[in-house]
Amino acid sequence: MDTLWALLRRPALQRGVRAAVAAGLAWQVAVLLPPLLSDYAYYAPLGAVIAVHPTIADSASAAWRSVLAILTGFLLAVAVYELTRAVPNALTIALIVGLAIAVEQWGLWREQASWVSFAAVLMLTVGLDDPDTYVLRYAGLTLLGAAIGVLVTTVLFPPLQLTRAVEQIGRTRALLGEHLHAIAGTLRDGRVPDAAEWAGRAGRLDRALDRMRAAEAQVERSRRANPRARRWQGRATSIREESRAVDRVAVLVDDLTSLVVEFEPHRRGIDLVDAGTGWVLADALDGLADVVRTPYHSTDGTTPDERDAVIAAATGALDRLVGLLRTATVSDDEGFFALGAVAVGVRRGLLALDAHLRHQQVA
């Protein structure tokens, strides 16, 4: 049962179920109409599938934009055909398609733009014998199906896309933590970070961040006109806040990586301090990575948990880094200031992640 429930929470499966139900209902409604329409009932499921999207707002938008694009294509085809009766058919088709594609550039259509040229060619090839009836059948039944698609999307577990957003945030956290641990490992090995290697890692992280931002934006869109929005308002808000916190930390980590790769502060004179700078810096970065990868507390705050432990470790590592800066004998200003900037970045990252100690001492 748990496996079935987990599957039903998958956005792709939910959309598939909604599309199937909407198409079946649209067909059943269409066949009950007068023969003028019921003989072409298969247009209704088409409209239903067009209108089933991941969010209610997207479904409604797709429905009216698609039908309007279809009507525009029909009218364009009829108008051009009537004006070019004396012109060879090949030239008429070329002119209609060219004009339809030009009309598709209008931003009103969005993803439904291609319906203009499709409908224009369809009218030209099969609908010109009785264009009024064809418009009624095709556009009318498509509109009927689209309305049913929007209704089904609204009623049948209307999506908030929370599952996908949570997954994308989790993947981004994991990749961000891996990125920080890799930098720390390089420092502990005493190696010089390779700029090309970190550029590749940064590219993978950027792609993960883009997917996370898109998922969070879809959650925001899904709340529009959604009857479940109030019930899940708290969860949606926490997802938005978490996504943006991870985003801010990612920007800070990008800066930290650039500072370490470019200035190599652990190799520029500060190792005169007894504690090796590279190790102290690595501990601070590892501490931030562990906090990134441990986002939630598992207790109510009365007893310490794993997140308390990693926050304490990260805070201790940062304190050692700050202490090193305060006592260092500096022979390289660039390295010193780069190391100071790393310390500030780690502190800001912990603040963005709301990483504060709930207990003075974690067992």
Task: Give the CATH number, domain containing residue 297.
Answer: 1.20.120
| Per-residue pLDDT of the chain in tens (363 residues, 90 and over written 9) | 556 556 666 767 778 888 999 999 999 999 999 999 999 999 999 999 999 987 788 888 899 999 999 999 999 999 998 888 878 788 989 999 999 999 999 989 988 999 999 999 999 888 888 898 999 999 999 999 999 999 998 887 665 567 778 889 999 999 999 989 988 888 887 766 666 777 777 788 889 989 999 888 877 777 766 666 566 677 778 888 899 999 999 988 888 887 777 766 666 544 444 446 778 888 999 999 999 999 888 887 778 889 999 999 999 999 988 888 887 666 655 667 777 888 999 999 999 998 887 765 444
Identify the CA nearest to 205 among candidates 265, 263, 247: 247
Q: Does a structural domain hold residue 57?
A: yes
Same-domain status, 223 and 115: no
Question: What is the dihedral angle through the alpha carbons of 355, 357, 358, 363, rounded to the nearest 10 degrees?
Answer: 120
Q: Is residue 363 part of a domain?
A: no
Tell me, yes or no, whether 127 and 207 share the same domain.
no
Entry pTM: 0.65
Residues 193 and 146 both lie in one domain? no
Last residue of a domain, one of 106, 125, 155: 155
pLDDT at residue number 9: 62
Say whether both 136 and 172 belong to one domain.
Answer: no
In a domain, 214, yes or no: yes
The per-residue pLDDT for range 12-58, each reduced to its tens digit, is 777 888 899 999 999 999 999 999 999 999 999 999 999 998 778 88
CB 203 within 8 A of CB 236: no
Task: Return the pLDDT at 275.
Answer: 46
List the one residue out of 139, 119, 138, 145 whose CA is nearest residue 44. 145
Say how far apart CA 128 and CA 136 lie, in whole Å: 13
Q: How far apart are the C-alpha atoms of 361 and 363, rounded to whole Å? A: 6
Residue 359 forms part of a structural domain: no
- Is residue 134 within 8 A of residue 127, CB to CB? The reply is yes
Looking at this protein, which amino acid is placed at residue 318? L
| Per-residue pLDDT, 326 | 82
Instruction: Decide if 360 is inside a domain.
Output: no
- Are residues 233 and 85 part of one domain? no
Res 105: pLDDT: 94
Domain match, 148 and 241 both: no
| 145 within a domain of the structure (yes/no) | yes
Cα–Cα dist 179/286, whole Å? 10
Domain encompassing residue 120? 2-155
Do 9 and 151 share a domain, yes or no? yes
Q: What is the pLDDT of residue 316?
A: 92
Q: What's residue 246's pLDDT? A: 92
User: How many residues are listed for the chain in this entry?
Assistant: 363
Number of structural domains in the chain: 2
**Token duo for residue 152:** 């089904």
Rounded to the nearest 10°, the torsion over CA 327, 333, 336, 340 is 110
Asked whether residue 298 falls in the same domain as residue 235, the answer is: yes
Q: What is the pLDDT of residue 159?
A: 58
How far is it, in rounded angstroms, from Cα 347 to Cα 179? Answer: 17
- Helical segments of the chain, H only: 2-8, 11-31, 35-38, 43-51, 56-83, 89-104, 114-122, 131-155, 162-188, 195-222, 233-263, 277-292, 306-327, 333-352
pLDDT at 28: 95
Distance of alpha carbon 289 from alpha carbon 250, whole angstroms: 11
Write down which residue in 110, 138, 155 finishes a domain.
Answer: 155
Name the phi and psi angles at 39, rounded to 5. -65, -15
Residues 171 and 120 in one domain: no
One-character DSSP codes across 58-75: HHHHHHHHHHHHHHHHHH
Question: Is there a domain that residue 361 lies in?
Answer: no
Within 10 angstroms of residue 299's Cβ, the number of other Cβ atoms is 12
Looking at the fold, whether 58 and 198 belong to one and the same domain comes out as no
C-alpha closest to that of 62 among 76, 70, 52, 71: 52
Decide: 346 and 253 in contact? Cβ < 8 Å.
no
Has residue 201 been placed in a domain?
Answer: yes
Q: Closest Cα to residue 347, out of 288, 307, 301, 306?
A: 288
Do 9 and 141 fall within a single domain?
yes
Q: Tokens 């939630």 identify what position? A: 296
Do 150 and 167 lie in a common domain? no
Q: Which two tokens stand for residue 225?
A: 């006109």
d(C-alpha 133, C-alpha 136), whole Å: 5
